Amino acid sequence: MPSNKSVSDAPIVQFTNCRILRDHRLQREDLWVREGKILNPEKLFFDEKGSADVQLDCKDSIIAPGFIDVQINGGFGVDFSLATDDFKSGIDLVSQKILSHGVTSFCPTLVTSPPSVYHQVLPQITVRNGGAHGAGILGAHLEGPFISKEKKGAHPEHCLRTFEAGAFQDLLATYGSLNCVQIVTLAPEMRRSSEVIRELTKRGICVSLGHSVANLSQAEEAVQHGATFITHLFNAMLPFHHRDPGIVGLLTSDKIPAGRRVFYGMISDGIHTNPAALRIAHRAHPKGLVLVTDAIAGMGLAPGRHTLGQQVVEIDGLNTYIAGTKTLSGSVATMDTCVRHFQEATGCSAETALEAASLHPAQLLGIEHKKGTLNYDSDADFLMLNDSLYVQATYIAGEEVWRQDVSGM
């Protein structure tokens, strides 16, 4: 069919015979892509009198936005909290490998580390678009070191820090630079945390509450100063108590500023959070749930000893512990596994499960105008999945970057 190229010479690809996740439901319509963006077919037909150059039969697949992982510490033997000479090749390896999990964008996460590690590693993380080389990098997630000693979890105690007189300057001195930082996790009960939250928010950095013994009023105050996220809900925080529900109480708090939504991360691997707790959180605040892997270097590797920053961890099946203890230390779950477990544990729709790994993290980071949806003019980062939500193919900017090897199935 001839196409009118009055607007662009780039080829137009039409994905047919599919169900597209758009406006919170799966809709039987075609997906049109040109120059890495999702096209509005009506404008194409009526304004340009154009048509497709290529048609691809999706064989009744689901097409959903690519997954966005805002908390991933590494994988495949690579630890983002270790300063190595070949750090760049390590981050490239992870970004390439997670394409098979449906992840098209991510925030490499550093756990509590000495200042020297931040100073060496952060300049080597650059925000970049995804492509055949791997998933896009949205910026770093710095989890610690300004967290609670009581709820340090797998974070090394000797590296923890507090805010002194020049609170924000302390943070800058510790990290060295905030140029590529997207999220900072801190404990809001720490003295002077409010001014730090305000300063980070002013710079467009998302502040997350975690590894904390904060009560509800301290958590609410942090949100009023600009915090918008909770790091792995239930893990590394005070357990829910009916007289003071702590950070967990933010899910139903009436002190959240008007027009603001608090999001919360959940490690839906069947280990970090009991399915009943996952259901409670989801039913209390479904629109805030963000699936994260919290994956460590051992993801994708055989059981045994691996690292998480300054610590040695042991992997036993899907359990990961600090060596010699029963302290959980990140996960080895992949994002697509988390999506499927979330759907199974909560009984939610496929649409809901997929949006928790795509739309919600995009909304958290304020990038939903280009990522996390299949709306017209947004980036053509999407997945083909079967009805059981197994990823069959991953696309970034409209180009196929990974496909399931059917011969091996």
The annotated binding site for substrate is made up of 154, 235-236, 243, 272, 328-330
**Residues sharing a CB contact under 8 Å with residue 278, sequence separation 6 or more, in sequence order:** 266, 268, 342, 345, 346
Asked if 107 contacts 182 with a C-beta cutoff of 8 angstroms, the reply is: yes
Asked if 206 contacts 363 with a C-beta cutoff of 8 angstroms, the reply is: no
With b for 16 or more beta-carbon neighbours within 10 A and e for fewer, the 103-129 pattern comes to bbbbbbbbbbbbeebbbbbbebbeeee
Q: Which residues are annotated as a binding site?
A: 143, 154, 211, 232, 235-236, 243, 272, 328-330
Instruction: Give the angle 197-170-364 at the CA atoms, nearest 5°.
Output: 30
Q: What are the structure tokens assigned to 318, written together? A: 């899907």
Q: How many CB atoms lie within 10 A of CB 284?
A: 14
Asked if 111 contacts 308 with a C-beta cutoff of 8 angstroms, the reply is: yes
Phi, psi angle pair for 344, to nearest 5°: -65, -40
Q: Amino acid identity, residue 325? A: T
Closest CA to 67 of 383, 328, 390, 405: 383
Active site residues: 294
Asked if 51 contacts 271 with a C-beta cutoff of 8 angstroms, the reply is: no
Instruction: Give CA–CA dist 103/66, Å, rounded.
Output: 6
Q: Amino acid identity, residue 215? A: N
* Cα R_g (the chain), whole angstroms: 21
Interaxial angle between packed helices 216-224 and 193-202, expressed in degrees from 0 to 180 and rounded to the nearest 10: 30
Q: Amino acid identity, residue 205? A: I
Phi, psi angle pair for 80, to nearest 5°: -65, -15
Burial class (CB in 10 A: 0-12, 13-18, 19+), 299: buried
Q: Which residues are annotated as a binding site for Zn(2+)?
A: 143, 211, 232
